[in-house]
A and B are shown apart, each in its own frame.
Chain A
């Protein structure tokens, strides 16, 4: 695997090839494998090793990027030239900041996210785990589909002002769908440490959901109390966090236009961005090498702060919005430059629930409602009211008098996040959750009143 010393050597070669005022090199790559199964068979089984360097050059307010996965001298020379050629033809941007200098402040020591045990998993071990999942399916007369993946990856950034950041970590992930004749169940988990995964339990829970939701009946669309499992919560709320960047306000494309400092959600909603949280993952620096700060985005339902890349913070300080957006400072959430998006918080952690409830406790307090395992194909209907549409999937249950009363046909929802997060009646403890529509986060299950189902599908 590419390591920091090798990357540093490559960066020195890049500097020699460059005629730019300033130069930055972003390194990324992976050695990954994914075993995929369906119909109780491993049907796709892949592995990849690929490392790349992305070079950004700067000439007096002009910048551009070029990327290659060939790390020999000729390729490095070519990629530097490509970056310079793209940069030189531009008009200077007076807002473009010089590259950042190395952050000399002492950062908190954080436990490594690299686990040898995860990196060492081989195809036979993945097949063995899948074999056990298939056995669990067969035992119940079900069919299973899913993945078991493991990887080691690197991310690093060097620049001509002395930034030299490096992050290596491992990842592992299991996702399991159990299929019955007319129903299905699903579970997913991931962790940097494969030892934290429990595929056998995930398989059992998914199978239980498939069997419990058999012969789903149709109940009419309408507003229901829903219990959203953590994966469903993260997949829907994930759509709002791109609006928590300062650039989104400067562009006037954010649902937080004119709303920072206002109470948008219920008293029970606290949200942080915290890369250092023990259940989080990823590098502790952003696309310019600036350290990621812990930022409280929402405090008791009030949107308190935005996150900023360096350049965005500078622009915001001189903008007409500067007095309406709370504290303005670089927070280490910028994407690699040049980009149009600016920044976003990508390590979301919901605050600790004051009176956490289990899913069972949430059901017990529900007279009539719907338990949702997973949401699917979520898209934004209205960018300012933050209305999202999507479907339920793989385990949707009717709850009556505190108990599951069988499966129901899947619903389409059209729900405003402003409305949803104002109507959270109960929550679970935040857990590391993983879905398919949004990035992973530390999120709780939620019981939400008046969730807006608008249509019912055929299954």
Chain B
């Protein structure tokens, strides 16, 4: 593979590139799904190719090909340089990369069981068993399950001498029960909505999730929601479960700290950010209890944003994003680091595959757990009147990441520290910094889970990326609840 990459680098430099890197990738995935007792999907996929990124005449070019013959690879590199030279016709200044020591390295996701060595028959049996449990509950009208594996093996080489070989494994699984009756459809998912829980792990994740054990409860909750009262509209204290808080972090912290958004590079599609450069180390983002990091290192956990090196050869790092409530850091790349006065990239450039240009992406953007021991049940017990919300159902935020609205699958009204009634269609909304400043409690390490968001979209052409978000249940005071149904 290194030889193939060398063909690309040689041609790029011959054609006038001042910098070049090449990324070869061999991507393999498996997707299994069931629906109402039958196989809903069974597919394997593999994709190989090379992406060549160059700077020529001070501007970027990128070309990718599935053809790894010498002739095609060299033509792809020449195409990248030709594109870069065209880019240079419309530029304000030359691209400058923050320095980075070129390294030779190997890394593989630590795992116990290679998911691709497991029996497909047993995988499907497990999903069908879950399906059967879900549909054993009267009133469940649709049961869906899924199990997904991915292995991304990549070789990164650069004209600066980097030579990095990484193999990343991802496993994910989950299910949902739907119940339709009268004039409504309700749904419960486990362990999370939109595909369940995903981590950079092997098949051992499937064993850890206790999928079958929770299926009947999930089915029963879906049906019970049909008869539950609708979540009231008003201002309430709310407690969010960890998976919902993970998505809240993703949308209202993870995206606005992307430096490419801040600098206007995503203005046409994903949008910009309210976190203009003047806010670094001056903005009170959240309460004193809010500590958020962007941590791609293995020691943070097996998140979908865990790796050894990003896709321009920068080692994984931990960047403090919010420190005791103060905004302290962005996600950056070698091209953008200078904008915040940094002499080095934060190591967050990632690509969906060999055929996509790496762009700034979240790694594992996680809120740190509370230091004092606090369980979810203790947090509920310490709440006089509020609403507990669990598992995301809808999410939306404006293109500068101020105003958000989230809906959850299930709510519970809390009175006097106790859950007193189930609520359907809970939702809440607010303004990002006001929301984070209202956080007055977060559970401790035992409740903290590193959740995976497997389908984050960004870029043109759009790229889908997995991100990690460690979170524990937390409480927020005086939040607007229920406007999603207001007026309808």
Cα–Cα distance between A143 and B400 once the two chains are bound (Å): 17
- Could you tell me the distance in whole angstroms from the C-beta of A145 to the nearest C-beta in chain B? 4
- B488 interface neighbour in A40, A130, A452, Cβ under 8 Å: A452
Cα–Cα distance between A231 and B475 once the two chains are bound (Å): 39
- Could you tell me the distance in whole angstroms from the C-beta of A30 to the nearest C-beta in chain B? 10
- Beyond A67-B44, A253-B180, whether A50 also contacts B64 by CB under 8 A is yes
Would you give the 0/1 interface string for A96-138, flagging 1 where the beta carbon is closer than 8 Å to chain B?
0000000000000000000000000011101110110010000
A41 sits at the interface (CB 8 A): yes
- Could you tell me the distance in whole angstroms from the C-beta of B453 to the nearest C-beta in chain A? 14
- A253 interface neighbour in B93, B142, B400, Cβ under 8 Å: B142
- Could you tell me the distance in whole angstroms from the C-beta of B197 to the nearest C-beta in chain A? 19
Interface residues on A, range: 35 or more
- Could you tell me the distance in whole angstroms from the C-beta of A205 to the nearest C-beta in chain B? 15
Q: Is the CB of B403 within 8 A of A412?
A: yes
Nearest-neighbor residue (CB-CB) of A380 within chain B: B394
Cα–Cα distance between A455 and B483 once the two chains are bound (Å): 8
B71 sits at the interface (CB 8 A): no
- Could you tell me the distance in whole angstroms from the C-beta of B42 to the nearest C-beta in chain A? 4
A457 sits at the interface (CB 8 A): yes
Q: Is the CB of B394 within 8 A of A379?
A: yes
Nearest-neighbor residue (CB-CB) of A419 within chain B: B488
Q: Is the CB of B90 within 8 A of A134?
A: yes
- Could you tell me the distance in whole angstroms from the C-beta of B20 to the nearest C-beta in chain A? 15
Those of B455-469 within 8 Å (CB) of chain A: 460-461
Chain A residues whose C-beta falls within 8 Å of the C-beta of B271 in the assembled complex: 376, 393
Those of B58-103 within 8 Å (CB) of chain A: 59-67, 76, 79-80, 82-87, 89-93
A314 sits at the interface (CB 8 A): no
- B66 interface neighbour in A45, A51, A67, A127, Cβ under 8 Å: A51
Q: Is the CB of A131 within 8 A of B83?
A: no
A90 sits at the interface (CB 8 A): yes
Q: Is the CB of A381 within 8 A of B485?
A: yes
- Beyond A34-B460, A378-B396, A414-B483, whether A436 also contacts B90 by CB under 8 A is no
B421 sits at the interface (CB 8 A): no
Q: Is the CB of A40 within 8 A of B92?
A: yes
- Beyond A40-B92, A339-B41, A458-B402, whether A45 also contacts B46 by CB under 8 A is no
Most buried by A among B60, B82, B184, B399: B399
B209 sits at the interface (CB 8 A): no
Q: Is the CB of A64 within 8 A of B267?
A: no
Cα–Cα distance between A388 and B120 once the two chains are bound (Å): 38
Q: Is the CB of B460 within 8 A of A389?
A: no
B124 sits at the interface (CB 8 A): yes
Nearest-neighbor residue (CB-CB) of A394 within chain B: B399
B136 sits at the interface (CB 8 A): no
Q: Is the CB of B87 within 8 A of A70?
A: no
Cα–Cα distance between A251 and B140 once the two chains are bound (Å): 11
Q: Is the CB of B398 within 8 A of A410?
A: yes
Q: Is the CB of A455 within 8 A of B403?
A: yes
B185 sits at the interface (CB 8 A): yes
Would you give the 0/1 interface string for B243-283, flagging 1 where the beta carbon is closer than 8 Å to chain A?
00000000000000000000111111101001000000000
B147 sits at the interface (CB 8 A): no
Q: Is the CB of A68 within 8 A of B405?
A: no
Cα–Cα distance between A320 and B286 once the two chains are bound (Å): 54
Dominant SS at the A interface?
strand
- A459 interface neighbour in B35, B36, B67, B402, Cβ under 8 Å: B402
A69 sits at the interface (CB 8 A): yes
Q: Is the CB of B47 within 8 A of A52?
A: yes
Cα–Cα distance between A14 and B170 once the two chains are bound (Å): 30
Cα–Cα distance between A454 and B486 once the two chains are bound (Å): 7
Cα–Cα distance between A95 and B35 once the two chains are bound (Å): 13
Chain B residues whose C-beta falls within 8 Å of the C-beta of A50 in the assembled complex: 47, 49, 64-66, 355
Cα–Cα distance between A338 and B41 once the two chains are bound (Å): 5
B45 sits at the interface (CB 8 A): yes
Chain A residues whose C-beta falls within 8 Å of the C-beta of B41 in the assembled complex: 338-340
- Could you tell me the distance in whole angstroms from the C-beta of A153 to the nearest C-beta in chain B? 12
Q: Is the CB of B398 within 8 A of A43?
A: no
Chain A residues whose C-beta falls within 8 Å of the C-beta of B265 in the assembled complex: 38-39, 43-44, 145
B297 sits at the interface (CB 8 A): no
A390 sits at the interface (CB 8 A): yes
B40 sits at the interface (CB 8 A): yes
A257 sits at the interface (CB 8 A): yes
Most buried by B among A48, A416, A458: A48
A169 sits at the interface (CB 8 A): no
- Among the 9-residue stretches A80-88, A359-367, A400-408, A426-434, the one with 4 or more Cβ atoms under 8 Å from chain B is A80-88
- B264 interface neighbour in A33, A145, A385, Cβ under 8 Å: A145
B39 sits at the interface (CB 8 A): yes
- A252 interface neighbour in B33, B180, B488, Cβ under 8 Å: B180
A383 sits at the interface (CB 8 A): yes
Interface residues on B, range: 35 or more
B215 sits at the interface (CB 8 A): no
Q: Is the CB of A65 within 8 A of B43?
A: yes
Q: Is the CB of B396 within 8 A of A49?
A: no
- Could you tell me the distance in whole angstroms from the C-beta of B93 to the nearest C-beta in chain A? 8
Q: Is the CB of A223 within 8 A of B487?
A: yes
- Beyond A38-B265, A42-B59, A257-B180, whether A86 also contacts B92 by CB under 8 A is no
- Beyond A127-B87, A452-B487, whether A83 also contacts B44 by CB under 8 A is yes
Q: Is the CB of A39 within 8 A of B46?
A: no
B291 sits at the interface (CB 8 A): no
Q: Is the CB of A82 within 8 A of B44?
A: yes
B310 sits at the interface (CB 8 A): no
- Could you tell me the distance in whole angstroms from the C-beta of B460 to the nearest C-beta in chain A? 5
B427 sits at the interface (CB 8 A): yes
Q: Is the CB of B79 within 8 A of A47?
A: yes
A382 sits at the interface (CB 8 A): yes
- A458 interface neighbour in B124, B141, B274, B429, Cβ under 8 Å: B274
Cα–Cα distance between A95 and B39 once the two chains are bound (Å): 11
- Beyond A48-B64, A381-B394, A458-B402, whether A86 also contacts B44 by CB under 8 A is yes
- Could you tell me the distance in whole angstroms from the C-beta of A175 to the nearest C-beta in chain B? 6
Chain A residues whose C-beta falls within 8 Å of the C-beta of B121 in the assembled complex: 89
- Could you tell me the distance in whole angstroms from the C-beta of B211 to the nearest C-beta in chain A? 18
Q: Is the CB of B394 within 8 A of A457?
A: no
B178 sits at the interface (CB 8 A): yes
- Could you tell me the distance in whole angstroms from the C-beta of B141 to the nearest C-beta in chain A? 4
Those of B383-418 within 8 Å (CB) of chain A: 393-400, 402-403, 405, 407
The 9 closest A-B pairs by CB, nearest first: A123-B86, A457-B403, A145-B267, A340-B40, A64-B42, A89-B121, A252-B180, A42-B87, A66-B44
A79-B46, A83-B44, A383-B187 known; 15 new pairs, CB 8 Å cut-off, are A35-B86, A42-B89, A45-B84, A46-B461, A52-B47, A52-B66, A86-B43, A122-B86, A126-B86, A128-B89, A339-B41, A389-B394, A391-B396, A412-B403, A455-B483
Q: List 30 A-B contacts (CB under 8 A).
A: A34-B460, A35-B87, A38-B266, A41-B90, A42-B90, A44-B359, A45-B60, A46-B461, A48-B63, A50-B66, A51-B66, A52-B66, A87-B42, A89-B124, A93-B38, A124-B89, A251-B178, A338-B43, A339-B40, A377-B397, A381-B427, A384-B184, A385-B183, A387-B485, A410-B398, A414-B488, A419-B488, A455-B483, A457-B400, A458-B402
